[in-house]
Structure 1
Amino acid sequence: MAGKEHFERLQALIDLEREAEKQENLRELRKFPVSQRESRGKTVTGLIAEAISGGMGGLTMITLSRAPKGEELAPFHAMNAGDNVLLTLSPGNEFLTVEGTLYKVDEYRVTVAMTRAAPEEPIRGHCQIDLLGSDATYQRMRKALITVSESKRSRLGALREIFLGEQQPERVRAPKVIWFNRALNEYQQSAVKASLAAQDVALVHGPPGTGKTTVLVEIIRQHVARGERVLATAPSNIAVDNILEKLLGTGLRVTRLGHPARTLESLRHGNLAAQIEEDPAYEEVQELDAYRERLIHRKSRHGRGIQQLGHEERQLREREVGKLWRQARDLESEIAR
């Protein structure tokens, strides 16, 4: 019962945090200049309304885009499908604000499901999107909590009981260790041995500067030497980069996940995106993306852009653009394997 109450309390706290984030983002809209919000990925300006259509459940869908400006990060780098946003539109000569949910997110294009009907007048001029909160993130956290709390007769359920103190973790006799890093002191070696002996969980604790990352690297190398694959995570990008930097010098095959722009420049060659680009097959990805961009900006035989096309012709163009995008991403996934 205590475990059930624990997870119910966590879910209630997640809901409070979600609402607090939304209110904080609304305060930021009033407090910080647009340029500062845009640099943080919380706002995207200069958007053109490409299309407005009906979607599932009678929702009004609006597609907005912005041409690339040579920026290091794409304008929607901090936004994901499912995020709550505030739209500022410009029908006629007035400005209209309406809340919505991101339905589809590309590098320079988004589709938003609006909470109200589209304005009757055409949308002219530039539009703006402000992030109100990542609902998708909270949905994932909520789903994870439910999965853990309801798991039965599984490895996940056993780990839950261990972390709640309802079950003792298992340990085996520490294996004989052939050290990769012979400079480890007595306490660091003890931490490595304790981790290797743990069958469920091991906690390595120490103040800053005591060599915890060095210990972690040794633990990873020991597991890899056994023929195992290791996933290393950390609470911040800089912490992940610290691990990456030490591992790259060991000769192990290491891949850093995450956006390259959030990886230290000196370590970007270890990022998955950089490794994909080095693959010979990546040229085909570039060709598909280049053709997709040309198709987006191609005018009809009457000189009309995509936003001036008829409904049927625009739908056909959008389907072809979407197909090219999926082909490029599927090929990237194959290369990543």
Structure 2
Amino acid sequence: MAPTSRGALHQPEPPSQELLQKWLQKHADLVAAERKVEEDESRLLLSKCSPKLLERNGLALLGLAVASISVGLGGKALVELERPVAHHDRPQFPPHSFRPGDIVQLEDHSVDPSSKGGQKGKGKSGESGDGAGTTLPGVVYRTSETKIIVAASSPKGKRSTDGAGSSKEGASGGLPELPIRIRLVKVANSATFDRMEWGLTRVARALHLSIKTSKRSVDASSSDEDDDTAESAQADTAASGATRSDAPSSLMRALVGAERPQWETLPDDALPHLFNPNLNASQIAAIKFALGAKHFALIHGPPGTGKTTAVAELVLHLALTQQKRVLVCGASNLAADNLLERIIARGADALAKSRVGITRLGHPARVLASLAETTLDQQAQGVVRRRTA
């Protein structure tokens, strides 16, 4: 720790590259270990347990039928599943753990997993021409007491059934072939781990460190990036007007203590007007402090002191006064919705007048109904309707 005088800010010594390397690799190892445990548990559970046992534990739904198939955003097939009255005494699903965003597998209900050496999902798609033995990956799109919609993908060139036995071609390679009776099984979600590892590799590149994850290795001396990382870096650069060597790297170095964060003191008239005239002096001071930050700023305080209200005002000034693109994140869907409601309440007219859009990312089913029109899904559907009108 560097020596400081009374009342001065304590400034820790910057970490060495070796220490940062160990710290980053430790996180990558922990993510890889967690991924392996979840995948092993899912594989063991699905291979050793009978479908009925999986259903009793909320990990499967048996004897489902296709109610309808439609094409959603991105050409994904939206398969609506239900419990047919011919095989069930009630249409309601038994208790289950399926939620929007979960990774699932659609299987042929007539195929016994135990007859394949305990391995599920190895049937050859379309062997009999009617979807027998089909195994398709998908993502839960929406759920209710009697319906569950899955966004499924199919191999290119495959033909589909429309739920009534007829075949037709669909977008993006066609809708999937499906059996008459379907078993829906929940599987391990690797997307979360992919995103975490991708984020760690971005940090490693920005700090010029080497790191090894379960999917790739990053060499500190190499500037080559995989396609996904390169595309994202280009998108970040285009959005911020920064180059790969300045803003992102400088921010990350400040966040890990390798570079001292900087602020500028704003004049008293830095906020010529307030979108919320009811802000108190401490809230205004916090907003000015954040606006003057070149790297990051922290607004903290006890519950009920107006932190969310201050952040809503800060977002409006960044978007409208400074004309910046702002990404707002929350610890939960409810936290994000709460902040969005306050931004709209105070700045809806100003945003509309300046023609500044606001989009709520995330699954529509997990967003408050009052904010449904701000979701990306609703806005994209509106664009499609206008183009087809």
Give the TM interval when normalised to the shorter protein. Answer: 0.5 to 0.7
Q: Let me know the Cα RMSD of the aligned residues.
A: 4.0
* Alignment partner of 1:14 out of 9, 12, 31: 31
CA 1:125–1:278 in 2, change beyond 3 Å: closer, same or farther? closer
**Is residue 2:23 matched to residue 1:34?**
no
* 2:132 alignment partner in structure 1: none
**Is residue 2:110 matched to residue 1:90?**
yes
Cα distance in 2 for residues equivalent to 1:108 and 1:8:
35
Asked whether the equivalents of residues 159 and 200 of structure 1 are also in contact (C-alpha less than 8 Å), the reply is yes
* Alignment partner of 1:78 out of 56, 78, 101: 101
**Is residue 2:363 matched to residue 1:269?**
no
Structure with more of its chain in helix, by fraction: 1
* 1:137 alignment partner in structure 2: 192
SS at structure 1 position matched to 2:101: coil
* 1:230 alignment partner in structure 2: 326
Asked whether the equivalents of residues 358 and 374 of structure 2 are also in contact (C-alpha less than 8 Å), the reply is yes
Cα distance in 2 for residues equivalent to 1:28 and 1:206:
45
**5+ residue gaps, structure 1:** 50-63, 113-122, 286-337
TM-score, scaled to structure 2: 0.54
Q: Percent identity?
A: 27
Q: What is the letter of the counterpart of residue 378 of structure 2?
A: A
Asked whether the equivalents of residues 24 and 200 of structure 2 are also in contact (C-alpha less than 8 Å), the reply is yes
Q: What is the letter of the counterpart of residue 135 of structure 1?
A: S
Shift of 1:262: 0.8
SS at structure 2 position matched to 1:281: helix
**5+ residue gaps, structure 2:** 1-17, 67-76, 84-91, 93-97, 123-134, 140-149, 156-177, 209-244, 352-356
* 2:289 alignment partner in structure 1: 194
5 Å matches for 1:34-183?
34=55, 37=58, 43=60, 45-46=62-63, 67-69=80-82, 77-79=100-102, 90-91=110-111, 97-99=118-120, 105=138, 107-111=150-154, 126-151=181-206, 152=208, 153-175=245-267, 176-177=270-271, 178-183=273-278
Shift of 1:183: 1.5
Q: What is the letter of the counterpart of residue 261 of structure 2?
A: P
Write the deviation string for residues 219-264 of structure 1: whole angstroms up to 9, x where unpaired: 0111122222211111211111001111222213422122211111
Asked whether the equivalents of residues 174 and 193 of structure 1 are also in contact (C-alpha less than 8 Å), the reply is yes
Asked whether the equivalents of residues 107 and 136 of structure 2 are also in contact (C-alpha less than 8 Å), the reply is no
TM-score, scaled to structure 1: 0.61
Shift of 1:15: 1.6
After the TM superposition, list the runs of 4 or more consecutive aligned residues in structure 1 that deviate by more than 3 angstroms: 19-33, 42-49, 64-71, 85-97, 99-112, 123-127, 276-285
Q: What is the letter of the counterpart of residue 141 of structure 1?
A: M
SS at structure 2 position matched to 1:98: coil
* 2:158 alignment partner in structure 1: none
Asked whether the equivalents of residues 43 and 130 of structure 1 are also in contact (C-alpha less than 8 Å), the reply is yes
CA 1:88–1:281 in 2, change beyond 3 Å: closer, same or farther? closer
5 Å matches for 1:308-327?
none
**Residue range with higher mean Cα deviation, 195-204 or 184-193:** 184-193
Asked whether the equivalents of residues 289 and 297 of structure 2 are also in contact (C-alpha less than 8 Å), the reply is yes
Asked whether the equivalents of residues 162 and 168 of structure 1 are also in contact (C-alpha less than 8 Å), the reply is yes
Shift of 1:12: 1.1
Asked whether the equivalents of residues 264 and 292 of structure 2 are also in contact (C-alpha less than 8 Å), the reply is yes
Cα distance in 2 for residues equivalent to 1:145 and 1:238:
27
Q: What is the letter of the counterpart of residue 98 of structure 1?
A: Q
